[in-house]
Structure formats: structure tokens, C-alpha cells
DNA sequence: CAGGGATATCGGATTTTTCAATATCGGATT
DNA sequence: AATCCGATATTGAAAAATCCGATATCCCTG
């Protein structure tokens, strides 16, 4: 593991916020992705990591441009550049 | 697994291109990240997935803005929006 | 075409992920 | 403020992915 679990919670929180803004439940998002509801819960709570392609897929299922959320996550981690 | 292994090769290829552009070897990047060289190889060849935070960390070790590479990956997957 | 630096692969131990079942939360309604 | 109930979190054991040192292979350069 290259990254502490705690930091993944930030990714989960961004994805949760995006889902809630889209007014979609975990159940409904899970259905759209063909996964169980616990799948959504586990990454939103930072229990599970989200890989790059999954993020694109998840946000697509919410009709959100993944680049916007990636920027948001990126800016949470104060590093250069 | 939400995503086919084949698609992860695209992510790996983008990260490899970024590394080569930066004129850094797998060994050197591995050293910067505190990981073995086989770690770099495994994701560049699509054997392993790259999570969102890892991608930021990897590209930071190369002094590259992860948002640029994310855009590149994003555009490889023809979906709306 | 040989040498050597760079990258890929192997294999078994370890860690993470998975998913159905179940528990808990939270807020709306009366 | 107690109940209901839809939404979310947690559990646990099986399955899958990852880890990493050792080693093989690639491929560039002289």
C-alpha cells in the first residue's frame, strides 16, 4: 500500500458528495454499475481504494465529468507542482 | 473487478509515457517511491491497477501535474459527458 | 554480436476485495 | 418523542489482487 487509508477517505468523501449532489442513492448507483450497495459504501467510507478507471466509470454513471472531481481531489493534496 | 484488465493497460501506457518523457528509469522512480522496480513494471504493463491517490503520488515523483495525465486517460475512454 | 542497463515475469506469502446478510443510522410523519 | 423505513454501514469468510525478491528477458549501444 503506497498510501494511508486515511487519505482514501478524502476520495470517498468527494465521490459521496458528487453522488448526493446528483440525488442518487447508493442502491441506485450500485444498480447502474451492476454492483452491490456495499461496494459503494466501502469506497465512500474509505474502506476500499478507487482506481483511476473505476472513478471515471462511477462518475459517468452519475453523469459527471470525472475531470472535475479529479481536480477537486488533486487540490486536497498539497504537493507541488 | 469493475473494469477489464485490458483497459488498465491504457493507464499504464500513459504513466509509462510520462515517465519516459521525464527521462526517469523504473529503478529510479521506484527508489523515489520506496517501492521495488517490479511495482512500476506491474502497473505500466497493466498487471496491476492504479488507484487515484497513487497516480497523484507517482506523477508527483516525476514532477508532473497529475491532472494533465488524468485528462489524457479520460479522453481515451469514449463516454459521455 | 556481446555486454550491461532496463524492464518483465514468476511464485508463494500477504493483503485487499467481494458480496450477501445483517445491523445501524437518520429523518420524516404523526 | 416514538415509530417507521429508506438509506447506509458493518461483518465475515471465500476469492482475488497485490507484494517483492529472485531471475529471466529485452534492447540499446559500442
pLDDT tens digit sequence for B33-50: 999 999 999 999 999 999
Query: A2-13: per-residue pLDDT in tens?
Result: 766 678 999 999
Instruction: Show the domain range for A49.
Output: 5-75
- Least Cα distance to A46 among A1, A3, A7 occurs for A7
For the segment A30-69, what is each residue's pLDDT rounded down to a tens digit? 999 999 999 999 999 999 999 999 999 999 999 999 999 9
For the cut 60, the answer to whether the pLDDT of residue A16 exceeds it is yes
**Nearest CB to B52: which of A11, A57, A81?**
A11
Q: Which of B8, B35, B53 is facing A7, going by the closest CB pair?
A: B53
B51/A49 touch (CB, cutoff 8 Å), yes or no: yes
CATH of the domain at A50: 1.10.260.40
Instruction: State the burial class of residue A7 (Cβ atoms within 10 Å of its Cβ: 0-12, 13-18, 19+).
Output: middle
* Element housing A2 (H / E): none
B21 is a domain residue: yes
The reply to whether A49 falls in a domain is: yes
Chain A CB contacts of B3 below 8 Å: 51, 53-54, 57
| ipTM of the shown complex | 0.92
In a domain, A80, yes or no: no
Residue B81 counted as domain residue = no
The answer to whether position B15 is within a domain reads yes
Amino acid at each position: 500500500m503506497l498510501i494511508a487509508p486515511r487519505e482514501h477517505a478524502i476520495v470517498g468523501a468527494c465521490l459521496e458528495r458528487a453522488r448526493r449532489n446528483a440525488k442518487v442513492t447508493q442502491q441506485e448507483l450500485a444498480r447502474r454499475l451492476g454492483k452491490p450497495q456495499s461496494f459503494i459504501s466501502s469506497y465512500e467510507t474509505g474502506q476500499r481504494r478507487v482506481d483511476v478507471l473505476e472513478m471515471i466509470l462511477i462518475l459517468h454513471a452519475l453523469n459527471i465529468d470525472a475531470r472535475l472531481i479529479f481536480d477537486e481531489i488533486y487540490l486536497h493534496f498539497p504537493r507541488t507542482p
